[in-house]
Structure 1
Amino acid sequence: MRFRIQHTTWPRPALILSDTPQPNCPDCHGEGGHNHDYGDHTGEYAGTEWEPCHCWDETRRWTVLPLPRLPRPRQTSTDPWASDEPPF
């Protein structure tokens, strides 16, 4: 297991310790998985699926430090274009 610290905002702001893919994995070469494009019944592109590699568990994470929610600044005007400032 190789760990890294990340910032998350869901379900609440926090610093988490998460697992990372093995950089020398012969299957994914350190990317953590593979993308597979697929088509619909007419053969047109319909999306991409992600298949995680066996060297990495993307659900393995621990909260290190919960962060406080910062209050949002209040807007004085609801119209962002109602300013006398030039647009540049």
Structure 2
Amino acid sequence: MIRLRIKVTHCPRRALALSDTPRPNCPDCDGVGGIAHDYGDHNGEYAGTDWEPCPCWTQWAVTLLPLPRWPRRTPPGYSDEPPF
């Protein structure tokens, strides 16, 4: 069963996308959508985290509507032109 939601994506451009969400009462991932596995280096120090997606969730998204880019505001500065 797919649980759909609308979200804003930022890569490669801002857009509204329709995506799936993890099952909130999943006993494997507790609704997070995946299981994190920490691992260490040869000295036993923390070296990172691997993330394994849970089968209760699919990582797909469909772009619905690209959002416009707002022009950047330029800070007020000095001008050489007279005020009239």
Identity %: 63
Describe the SS at the equivalent of 2:20. Answer: strand
How far apart in 1 are the matches of 2:28 and 2:12?
32
TM-score, normalised with respect to structure 2: 0.81
TM-score, normalised with respect to structure 1: 0.78
1:8-87 correspondence runs (5 A): 8-58=9-59, 60-76=60-76
The alpha carbon displacement at 1:76 in A equals: 4.7
Equivalent AA in structure 2 for residue 3 of structure 1: L
Equivalent AA in structure 2 for residue 67 of structure 1: L
Q: Return the index of the structure with the highest Cα Rg.
A: 2
Describe the SS at the equivalent of 1:70. Answer: coil
Q: Which runs of 4+ in 1 moved over 6 A?
A: none
Equivalent AA in structure 1 for residue 29 of structure 2: C
Instruction: Show the counterpart of 1:84.
Output: none
Describe the SS at the equivalent of 1:30. Answer: coil
Unaligned ranges ≥5, structure 2? 78-84
How far apart in 1 are the matches of 2:46 and 2:29?
24
Unaligned ranges ≥5, structure 1? 78-88
Equivalent AA in structure 1 for residue 73 of structure 2: P
How far apart in 2 are the matches of 1:13 and 1:38?
34
Distance 1:24 1:71, change over 3 A: same
